């Protein structure tokens, strides 16, 4: 994990260099009078973006892991198609539509943004858990029952290790989607790296757009890289197949 750790340190050093961004963007776009967003520092916007992403992912993990686990147990299996359909609906609607549908209920602020991000990222996590838990062949399950393993023992000793690779892959996909989609949060009055992007689009200011877009792209790549390294560390058996 040393590589991702150094990557995160370099990323935070980059977004902390406010004057460096201003100098670089001023040189690239000399005709622009406002090369950087001046109401908030880039580091503060990054912190807001990470907070929004983190809260959304906590809800996604809590709901996705619980739904996936419940839908593959005996009591939940009759509802498995319903769980699949409900989680798919979240990605059927564009995040912008979910944002504006949430406005009359939740109003402007982070709650509407978190709801949209939650709905959009729930599918990969839930599907990863379900596919992983269902990947154990029936004959292996029968052999485990024959050995006298209870349902709980089969879950933790047999099914969960098999489900871990696809679960981690689903979490990684959901995290990258959340980081990227969180740029829409300023549309409902929330901060984050989408603030300079939307301000730049409104003012036809490419410098502002780049100030938000470059850190978002780097953040998404860094999150993907970090979780890939974590996957290799936690599931070495899956990497050998």
Contact 128, 166 (CB under 8 A): yes
Give the tens place of pLDDT for each residue, 104-157. Answer: 777 777 888 888 888 888 888 988 898 888 887 777 777 777 777 777 777 777
- Looking at residue 91, what is its pLDDT? 66
Q: Is the pLDDT of residue 90 over 80?
A: no
Contact 229, 3 (CB under 8 A): yes
- Which residues of 65-150 form beta strands (DSSP E)? none
Please state the pTM of the whole predicted model: 0.89
Give the tens place of pLDDT for each residue, 12-30. Answer: 999 999 999 999 999 999 9
- How far, in Å, CA of 112 to CA of 119, rounded? 11
Q: Is the pLDDT of residue 185 over 70?
A: yes
- Looking at residue 94, what is its pLDDT? 72
Taking all residues of the chain, what is their mean pLDDT, rounded to a whole number?
A: 86
* Contacting residues for 26 by C-beta, under 8 A, at least 6 apart: 32, 35, 207
The winner for highest mean pLDDT among 93-97, 109-113, 212-216 is: 212-216
Domain ranges of the chain: 2-236
Q: How confident is residue 241, by pLDDT bands cut at 50, 70 and 90?
A: very low
The pLDDT of 32-37, averaged and rounded, is 88
- Domain 2-236: CATH architecture, name and number where available: Orthogonal Bundle (1.10)
Q: Is the pLDDT of residue 52 over 80?
A: yes
């Amino acid at each position: 994990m040393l590589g991702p750790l150094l990557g995160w340190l370099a990323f935070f050093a980059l977004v902390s260099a406010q004057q460096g961004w201003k100098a670089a963007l001023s040189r690239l776009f000399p005709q622009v009078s406002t090369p950087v967003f001046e109401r908030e520092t880039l580091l503060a916007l990054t912190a807001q973006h990470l907070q929004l992403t983190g809260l959304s992912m906590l809800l996604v993990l809590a709901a996705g892991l619980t739904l996936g686990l419940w839908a593959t147990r005996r009591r939940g299996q009759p509802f498995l198609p319903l769980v699949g359909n409900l989680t798919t609906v979240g990605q059927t609607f564009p995040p912008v539509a979910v944002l504006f549908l949430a406005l009359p209920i939740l109003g402007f602020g982070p709650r509407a943004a978190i709801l949209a991000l939650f709905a959009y990222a729930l599918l990969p996590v839930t599907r990863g858990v379900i596919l992983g838990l269902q990947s154990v062949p029936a004959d292996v399950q029968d052999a485990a029952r024959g050995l006298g393993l209870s349902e709980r023992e089969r879950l933790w000793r047999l099914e969960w290790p098999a489900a871990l690779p696809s679960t981690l892959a689903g979490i990684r996909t959901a995290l990258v989607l959340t980081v990227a989609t969180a740029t829409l949060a300023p549309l409902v009055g929330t901060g984050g790296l989408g603030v300079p992007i939307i301000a730049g689009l409104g003012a036809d200011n490419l410098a502002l757009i780049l100030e938000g877009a470059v850190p978002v792209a780097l953040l998404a790549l860094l999150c993907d890289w970090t979780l890939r390294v974590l996957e290799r560390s936690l599931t070495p058996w899956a990497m050998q197949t």
